[in-house]
Structure 1
Amino acid sequence: MATSGLAFFEIENSSRIASPQPAVRKDKQGTAQARSDYELSEIQLAKGSARVTSEPLTQPTTGPPSPSPSELERRLSIPDVADQVSGWAPDRTVASWKTKWRMLSVCFMSLGNGMNDSAPGALIPFIETHYNIGYAIVSLIFVTNAFGFILAAPLTQSIEHKLGRAKSYALALSIQAIGYVIIVCEPPFPAVVASFFLLGFGMALSLALSNVYCANLANPTTALGCFHGSYGIGGIIAPLFATAMVSDGIRWSFFYTITLAVSIINLGYALWAFYHFENDSPNEPQMALRPTISHQTSDGEPLSRTQVLKKSIRNRTTLLGALFIFAYQGAEVSVSGWVVSFLISYRHGDPSRVGYVSSGFWAGITAGRFLLTHPASKIGEKVAVMGMIAGAVAFQLLTWLIPNVIGEAVTVAILGLLLGAVYPCATSIFTRLIPRSMHISSLSFISALGSSGGAVSPFFTGILAQNIGTMVLHPICIGLYGVMAISWLLLPKIAKRSE
């Protein structure tokens, strides 16, 4: 900055700061009327946690005249206080860079989760052939995956409290790595089923923590769009690699060496990025539970973690949010997991080629999360989500009825585009409706239990496909869109927080 007086800025403890001086009155042109010299009064940051002070900037005796008050204000360009507190502003502070590295870390973890969820769609036909099993048996991988998500829901809060953010991420990624090692060894199918339980638990833990982290930044809808957009990138990559590998005669299980490497890299990076995360609360929102539980009993005593969890689960937004995400994830993963089998059975597609349709679906999801999230926040997330659900129903019907592979590949990609922005927009709305002190417990419940829909729905699709055919995918997804619309309409109205 050009003004030398800025060197006097420093952060002081609130106990050392005197009462602020009266503000200088200005006319419409911004010219000071009451004083000849310009003095920056103390600026109190949000909730009085920190304050910025400066010494008077006096007129120099020599040299060019000092700028007018309005010119000095323009040069200072003090960032928005909310952005300073969140660390998601484009300033050059240490806190800002820490946040950017952490945001990159959660995006990489999301990319790995996307690879994990999208790969089975391309690999299921080859898993069935290798183990000589049908749709119903192979669908057990989705069941145990769901159990992993469900088990993580009540445990995420305690794990984060005991281990801290960095070690919690390390635990989640270590569990995923163990699951991938089991699959790479190509064990008997029951061991493969068990490994998907580990994958579900690890994914649920990292997903819940990352959702809370992104939702508490200054621009949560944009941050969540990047986070979940990275999931879509992983969803694009995995079917491409998986289809190319099995088409060249490589064993299907070797694909999971890629996801194993990704999880190990993410483990080390997350430990570094979130190291001492709990000590950074002055410059970045503190989302660990230890210092910030504010719920109290009628006697004024703070509630225990179990009581906070029970209170969160009884919250209307938490319950409706879990139902909404359950239906959303169920539809998303069902399309990704079974559309390839549908094209092989009903459109006589080539198994070595139609696997790329799943990548097209995830490409649509990725584009939606990066391109539609910001416009949706401008329109209003509640209205935008309803419009995207209506569009998803229309293109699901087209996918069902168009009688050729190319046409269905296009409609599947557009379906992904419409579904892409739904998750980040919904999470942004949930964080506005849920009290801040309940974010970690409520969003953990929504992420873990809600995301189990990505395992339960594909399982039931496989069970019905065994007896009826894979065309059941489409009516199941349309029904899930209906559940999404109903639960969305039942959400409370957004009101300004009093917190």
Structure 2
Amino acid sequence: MSTTQTETIELPTRISEIPDNGVQDSRPPEVKWMYPKILSAGVSFFVAGVNDGSLGSLIPYIIRTYGIGTNMVAVLYGTTFGGWLIAALTNSSITRYLDLGPILCVGAAIQVLAHVLRVWEPPFALYVVTFFLASLGQAFNDTHANTFVSSLTGAHRYLGFIHAMYMAGCLVGPFVATGIASANTDSMWYIFYAFPLGVGVVNLALLGVAFRDRMAAPAVLRSEGEETLSRSAWKEIKDTLSSPGVWLVSLFFFFFLGATITAGGWMVEYLVKVRNGDVKEMGYVPAGFFGGAFLGRLILAEPTHRLGERRMIFIYAVLCVGLQLVFWLVPNIITEAVAVSLLGFFSGPFFATGISVGTKIFSPEIRSSAIGDTAFVFVLGQVGGSIFPALTGIIAGKVGVQVLQPMLVGLLGAAGLSWLILPKDAALHRD
């Protein structure tokens, strides 16, 4: 894993952190409170996972509460993408005015606000707005937490941990959401958001404590004028978007996030409508997918790193396509649940490995905005994570939710093929 550090948010070297022993040390500077920082980054991803993983279990109740069709659910994914887009456009500027600690806390606070607005039964329009706020907060919180971890020595292990924490949140979310939503005949599903609200407050407190040494204004702000900072931010954005590496990595995330978010969002509705499953029981099936992904991110991180990232991710992609075909063609709910769990397991390493590879593909000149901020790669990937679930909902409104299956097979296959077109440098992929 690359240990290159960026000027804006990836552990800028502080003079006070370097031992003054008269001997030049080539090792990376020691990070204060490193393990509390890694833990708080993991909690940030857990909060995001609870939010993202619960939506699929809640969609059947949302549709019935607000009296909307599957095509209107597409609006939720559209506003989610809007939050990521705004974050990507403002990220380079905000990192010049705020250090890592305040950015993480701002992101966590915005997510808390989103859950405060959801915890009662809000009008549908306001409920839609909360998805914009939640994604904006995640973009600031999680991408910068990800950047911090990616700068550490042995980062592939720590990335595996924090992304496993995301899947742990996705695993817990459906259990809590389905349990609350199905508790009464007249469902009060929105009370579920008291859970991510409480965890979000804990997340905000942990970040404030663990990153308390990173609360001062960046040194670059004290040495450069506002006009110079603005020009530098826009130049960084331009350089990032002109880099082929950014687009190649983003293409992989475009298809991968499109597949996982589409599956998580529409799996329950598919099992209820097409397989005639009980909505009170089917709400737990996504937990199998997320549970498998949680284990995959923990167990497969090291083998993937050692055996060759390019080779192993492609093998996993082939296995995922096969398991998705089983889910589609075998009309048995138990078999489908097992297939979904295994699919989650083998797709688990995709995200952290994609970040790991990205840090090696991007040139040092653009790394601070492309992978340092992470937001550009994520927002371009979130295009797929927004378009394909929305498209599935729109088509499902016309022909039925069975369109989910060919959509997922195509997306998983495209993710595997897009991985193959990444640079084939031997040192990069360890082949």
Q: For residues 240 and 128 of structure 1, do their structure 2 counterparts lie closer, same or farther at Cα, with a shift above 3 Å needed?
A: same
String of CA shifts for 1:77-133, please: whole Å, max 9, x gaps. xxxx45xx364xxxxxxx3xx110110011000000001101111011111111111
For residues 257 and 195 of structure 1, the distance between their equivalents in structure 2, rounded to whole angstroms, comes to 14
- Which gives a bigger RCO, structure 1 or 2 (Cα 8 Å, sep 6+)? 2
Q: Is the 8 A contact 1:145 1:452 kept in 2?
A: no
Report the equivalent of 1:197. Answer: 132
Report the equivalent of 2:339. Answer: 411
- The number of residues matched between the two structures is 401
- Paired residue for 2:385, among 427, 444, 454? 454
* Structure ID, larger Rg: 1
Report the equivalent of 2:299. Answer: 371
Q: Is the 8 A contact 1:233 1:366 kept in 2?
A: yes
Q: Is the 8 A contact 2:318 2:413 kept in 1?
A: no
Letter in 2 for 1:267: L
Q: For residues 170-319 of structure 1, what are the structure 2 equivalents within 5 Å?
A: 170-249=105-184, 251-277=188-214, 290=220, 304-319=232-247
Q: For residues 412 and 108 of structure 1, do their structure 2 counterparts lie closer, same or farther at Cα, with a shift above 3 Å needed?
A: same
For residues 412 and 11 of structure 1, the distance between their equivalents in structure 2, rounded to whole angstroms, comes to 49
For residues 278 and 265 of structure 1, the distance between their equivalents in structure 2, rounded to whole angstroms, comes to 18
Report the equivalent of 1:482. Answer: 413
2:131 is the alignment partner of 1:131: no
String of CA shifts for 1:259-299, please: whole Å, max 9, x gaps. 111111111211221122278xxxxxxxx7949x9xxxxxx
Q: For residues 307 and 326 of structure 1, do their structure 2 counterparts lie closer, same or farther at Cα, with a shift above 3 Å needed?
A: same
Structure ranking higher in helix proportion: 2
Report the equivalent of 1:321. Answer: 249
Report the equivalent of 2:356. Answer: 428
For residues 18 and 142 of structure 2, the distance between their equivalents in structure 1, rounded to whole angstroms, comes to 35
Q: Is the 8 A contact 1:147 1:452 kept in 2?
A: no
String of CA shifts for 1:163-212, please: whole Å, max 9, x gaps. 21111111111211121111112121111111111111111122221221
- Paired residue for 2:270, among 342, 349, 359? 342
Q: For residues 322 and 290 of structure 1, do their structure 2 counterparts lie closer, same or farther at Cα, with a shift above 3 Å needed?
A: farther
String of CA shifts for 1:209-260, please: whole Å, max 9, x gaps. 1221121111121111111100000001010011111111151110011111
The alignment partner of 1:276 has SS state of helix
Q: Is the 8 A contact 2:92 2:236 kept in 1?
A: no
Residue 398 of structure 1 and its aligned partner are, at CA, apart by: 0.7
Letter in 2 for 1:440: S
2:288 is the alignment partner of 1:353: no
The alignment partner of 1:492 has SS state of coil
- Paired residue for 1:160, among 87, 95, 107? 95
For residues 96 and 278 of structure 2, the distance between their equivalents in structure 1, rounded to whole angstroms, comes to 50
The alignment partner of 2:121 has SS state of coil
For residues 425 and 30 of structure 2, the distance between their equivalents in structure 1, rounded to whole angstroms, comes to 22
Report the equivalent of 2:25. Answer: 45
Q: For residues 319 and 117 of structure 1, do their structure 2 counterparts lie closer, same or farther at Cα, with a shift above 3 Å needed?
A: same
The alignment partner of 1:236 has SS state of helix
Letter in 2 for 1:208: T
For residues 219 and 378 of structure 2, the distance between their equivalents in structure 1, rounded to whole angstroms, comes to 17
- Paired residue for 1:122, among 52, 57, 71? 57
Report the equivalent of 2:397. Answer: 466
Unaligned ranges ≥5, structure 1: 1-9, 18-41, 47-80, 88-94, 280-287, 294-301
Q: Is the 8 A contact 2:102 2:215 kept in 1?
A: no
Q: For residues 458 and 86 of structure 1, do their structure 2 counterparts lie closer, same or farther at Cα, with a shift above 3 Å needed?
A: farther
Q: Is the 8 A contact 1:399 1:408 kept in 2?
A: yes
For residues 486 and 138 of structure 1, the distance between their equivalents in structure 2, rounded to whole angstroms, comes to 29
For residues 415 and 485 of structure 1, the distance between their equivalents in structure 2, rounded to whole angstroms, comes to 14
For residues 86 and 229 of structure 1, the distance between their equivalents in structure 2, rounded to whole angstroms, comes to 25
For residues 86 and 432 of structure 1, the distance between their equivalents in structure 2, rounded to whole angstroms, comes to 22
For residues 392 and 326 of structure 1, the distance between their equivalents in structure 2, rounded to whole angstroms, comes to 16
**TM-score of the superposed pair, with normalisation by structure 1:** 0.76
Q: For residues 12 and 122 of structure 1, do their structure 2 counterparts lie closer, same or farther at Cα, with a shift above 3 Å needed?
A: closer
Letter in 2 for 1:228: H
For residues 130 and 178 of structure 2, the distance between their equivalents in structure 1, rounded to whole angstroms, comes to 22
* Mean CA deviation greater in 428-437 or 335-344: 428-437
The alignment partner of 1:304 has SS state of helix
Residue 303 of structure 1 and its aligned partner are, at CA, apart by: 7.5
Letter in 2 for 1:195: T
String of CA shifts for 1:118-169, please: whole Å, max 9, x gaps. 1111011111111111111122111111111122112122222212111111
Could you say what the CA RMSD is over the residues aligned between the two structures, in angstroms? 2.4
For residues 116 and 229 of structure 1, the distance between their equivalents in structure 2, rounded to whole angstroms, comes to 15
Residue 347 of structure 1 and its aligned partner are, at CA, apart by: 0.9
For residues 166 and 236 of structure 2, the distance between their equivalents in structure 1, rounded to whole angstroms, comes to 30
**TM-score of the superposed pair, with normalisation by structure 2:** 0.88
Q: Is the 8 A contact 1:135 1:466 kept in 2?
A: yes
Percent of counterpart pairs with the same letter? 32
For residues 184 and 210 of structure 1, the distance between their equivalents in structure 2, rounded to whole angstroms, comes to 26
Letter in 2 for 1:486: L
Letter in 1 for 2:415: M
For residues 185 and 429 of structure 1, the distance between their equivalents in structure 2, rounded to whole angstroms, comes to 42
For residues 215 and 127 of structure 2, the distance between their equivalents in structure 1, rounded to whole angstroms, comes to 37
